[in-house]
Amino acid sequence: MRAIPAVALLLASLACHAETPQQIRQIYVAEASSQQAGFTPSAKRGEAFFRQRFANNDKMPACTSCHTDSPLNAGEHAVTGKSIKPLAVAANPNRLSDPAKVEKWFGRNCKEVVGRACTPAEKADFVTFLSEVR
């Protein structure tokens, strides 16, 4: 009978396809490892990537243009001024719970800010940073 809550929780999580930040990180780590043997994700590299300025887009040269200096803060859209919920899982538990959504925003924002698709290694580092930053 003690198994019932656990089963219910499992069913609930299946029903809303929720995944944990660890699972999403694992997806990118696996992808990065297949290209680069012995790859281990690094929150430090992820943070450096978050702060890096790319000479691609004047209005939004870096992640920090909209997401502020810390992913723990709520951000502000550089063009529209609309508020953006924090990226860090510690500040916003809904982050990194939907792999499709994470991939969609990497796709859009890497293209526009970085000027190219991000590599699986960059994504793994970035996701690690967002799930560990306190």
Partner 1 sequence: MQKILVWDWPVRLGHWLMVGGFILAWLTSESESLRLVHVLSGGVVVAVALFRLPWGFIGSRYARFVDFVRGPGSVVDYLRSLIRLDPDHHTGHNPAGGWAIVLLLGLGIATGLVGWAMYNELGGDWLEELHEGLAATMLTVVFIHVAGVISGSLLHGENLVRAMITGHKQGSPDAAIASARPLAAIILIAWVGVAAWWLAS
Span 98-117, contacts to partner 1 by CB under 8 A: 98, 101, 108-109, 112
3-state secondary structure of 19: coil
Cα–Cα distance measured from residue 118 to residue 88, given in angstroms and rounded to the nearest whole number:
19
Nearer to partner 1 among residue 44 and residue 93 (C-beta):
93
Contacts (CB under 8 A) with partner 1, residues 33-92: 57, 59-60, 66, 77-80, 82-83
What distance in Å separates the CA atoms of residue 48 and residue 56, rounded to the nearest whole number? 17
Taking alpha carbons only, the member of 105, 129, 96 closest to residue 23 is: 96
CB of 13 to partner 1, least distance (A): 16
Contact positions vs partner 1 (CB under 8 A)? 57, 59-60, 66, 77-80, 82-83, 98, 101, 108-109, 112
